[in-house]
Structure 1
Amino acid sequence: MFFGTYTPKLDDKGRLFLPAKFREELAEGLVVTRGQERCLTIWSLEDFARLTERLQQAPMTVKGTRDYVRMLFAAASQEVPDKQGRISIPPVLRQYASLDRDVVVIGSMNRIEIWDPTSWAEYSEQQEQVFSDLSDEVFPGA
C-alpha cells in the first residue's frame, strides 16, 4: 500500500528517485503511464497485470473503452528501479504531466501518482471541500 506525499526531484536525465518507503514493493519492476488530471501513475507489475485483466473483459465495441485503453497503454513504460531507487520517466510522459525538475509524488492506495507541484497544489485546494463532502458518500452511515 502506498501513502504519503514526497517532493523528490528529477535529475538531468529525467530519472526520478522513488521515495524509500515505496522501493521494496516496486523492486521487481513497475509500469508508469498517464493518469487522470495530467499526472502520471505508477503501478506495481502485479497491479498493472490485474488492471490489464479487467480491461480485457471490457467490451472493445464501446468507444470509451477503446479510447481509454489506447491512452493508457500507448504511453506506458515498464521500468525496473536501479540500485539507487531511480526510474526513468520517458520524455512523452514528462511532457504530458508538465514535469520539469521539481515533482510531487503521492501514494494513492495501490498506485503512486507523480504531479507537477503547481498542478498538485491547485488540485488539492480545489478538492479540499469535495473531500469533506465525499466522506458521507464513500462511507455511508459511518
Structure 2
Amino acid sequence: MFAGRYDHALDSKGRSMMPKRFRARLAELNDRSVWITNALDGADHLEVRPDSSFQAFFAKVSALGNKKSLLDFRRYYFGSAIEVEVDAAGRILVPAQLRQKLQLSDKVTFLGVDSERFELWQPQVLDERFAQVCDNPEALLDEISALGL
C-alpha cells in the first residue's frame, strides 16, 4: 500500500526521488511508470497512480457510459494525466505544467493514501490542510463513524 508522508527535494529539472516504500509497491505491481493528474477532490494537490491502477480505473470509468458529467470528469482527470517513467535512480519527473499548478519549487511531499494511489503536495499547503483537520477532529470522526468505521 501507499502510506505515510515523505518530504523530498525537487531538483531544478523537476525530478524527485520516490520514497523507498512507494518504489517497493511499484515493484510488487510490476509497474515502471506512474500517471500524474488532477486530484479528484481539489486543485491543491496532484494524484499519482501506478500504470496498472490507472489503466484499471480508466477501464472502469469508460464502462460507465457517456453522461455529460462523466465526460466532464474524463476531460478533467484523464485529459490532464501524464505518464512518467520511474528512472533507474528511482526518481520521477513532475511535469512543468503540474509543478506550476502546485507552485512547487525545491520541495515536494509524497502522501500515501491507499493501495492504489498517492498524492503530491506542496509541503506548506499540506501542513495547512492538516491544521484544518486538527482544528475540528470531532467533525471528521463523526463523518467517518457514519460510514461504519
**TM-score scaled by structure 2?**
0.85
Cα offset, 1:29, TM superposition: 1.5
Does structure 2 retain, via aligned residues, the 8 Å contact 1:75–1:92?
Answer: no
Does structure 2 retain, via aligned residues, the 8 Å contact 1:34–1:96?
Answer: no
Structure 2: runs of 5+ lacking an equivalent: none
User: For 1:114-129, what aligned pairs fall within 5 Å after superposition?
Assistant: 114-128=120-134, 129=137
More strand, by proportion? 2
Q: Which residue of 1 aligns with 2:3?
A: 3
Describe the SS at the equivalent of 1:92: helix
Aligned length in residues: 139
Q: CA RMSD in A?
A: 1.6
Is 1:104 matched with 2:109?
A: yes
Structure 1: runs of 5+ lacking an equivalent: none
Q: Which residue of 2 aligns with 1:29?
A: 33
Q: 1:70 aligns with which of 61, 75, 82?
A: 75
Deviates more, 1:22-31 or 1:38-47: 22-31
Q: Deviations over 1:86-129 (max 9, x none)?
A: 01111111122222211211101021100011211121122342
Is 1:43 matched with 2:52?
A: no
Q: % of aligned pairs identical? A: 29
Describe the SS at the equivalent of 2:111: strand
Does structure 1 retain, via aligned residues, the 8 Å contact 2:2–2:25?
Answer: no
Does structure 2 retain, via aligned residues, the 8 Å contact 1:75–1:93?
Answer: no
